[in-house]
Chains A and B, each alone.
Chain A
Amino acid sequence: EDQVTQSPEALRLQEGESSSLNCSYTVSGLRGLFWYRQDPGKGPEFLFTLYSAGEEKEKERLKATLTKKESFLHITAPKPEDSATYLCAVYSSASKIIFGSGTRLSIRP
C-alpha cells in the first residue's frame, strides 16, 4: 500500500537554528514528490518538485533533497516567518496523490 510519513509531527526551533524535516515514502513507482508550505486557515503554497533520486532544489533558506526512500527539507538559519506546516505529497505511477500528515514548524525569535 502506498504510504507517506512525515517526521517529526512538530518541531520548535530557535531563530537561526538549522534543522531538517523528513518525508519517507513507499509507493508503487514515484512520478514526483512535492513540498508545500501551509499557513493556518490557508491553502498550501507550492515549494518544490523532485523527480529522481539525487535531485536537489533550493529556495532562499530551504533546500529539498530526494533519495529512493525519503526526502528531506533542510531549513538553514530559519526566521519566525518560516513558521508553518510543511506538507510532503507523492504522485505515484498509479496516478494517486498522497499527502503526508505534515510537520508543524515553529521558530522562536
Chain B
Amino acid sequence: DTEVTQTPKHLVMGMTNKKSLKCEQHMGHRAMYWYKQKAKKPPELMFVYSYEKLSINESVPSRFSPECPNSSLLNLHLHALQPEDSALYLCASSQGSGGAYNEQFFGPGTRLTVL
C-alpha cells in the first residue's frame, strides 16, 4: 500500500467550530507532515512528526493543534479558525525525516473553507 489517505475531502466550518482533519498511511513511514497550500502557491510546511514526536513546528498559530496517536495516524485539530485559514491542507509521509529518506508521499488533501 503506497497511499496516504486524508479525511474529509472537503470541510466547511464556522469560526467558532471545532473540527479535526485525519491522515493515515500504511507504508511504515516514520515521519509525517502537515502542509497548508493556498491557491496557486507552493505548500507551506506547518508541522513535522518524526517517530511520533513533534520535531518541527513552523510557528503555526495555536488554533491549529497537531496530534500523532501512532506511527500510522496524524490528526490536525482546528479551533476558532479565521477565514484566511481557508486552504488545501495536505498530509505527507516519508520513510525518515532526513537524508536519503525524505522523499515525501502526499495525500489528496482536505479542502477547508472557514466562513
Contacts and interface: CB of A to CB of B under 8 A. Distances in A.
A43 B102 contact: no
Contact of A34 (B88, B90, B98, B103): B103
Contacts of A44: 43, 90, 104, 106
Contacts, number: 52
Interface stretch (B66-74, B75-83, B107-115): B107-115
A34 B42 contact: no
B54 interface: no
A42 B102 contact: no
Contact of A42 (B45, B104, B109): B109
Interface of B: 4, 40-45, 56, 88, 90, 92, 97-100, 102-109, 111
Please list the 4 inter-chain residue pairs (A to B) with the smallest Cβ-Cβ separation, ordered nearest first.
A43-B106, A99-B42, A44-B106, A91-B102
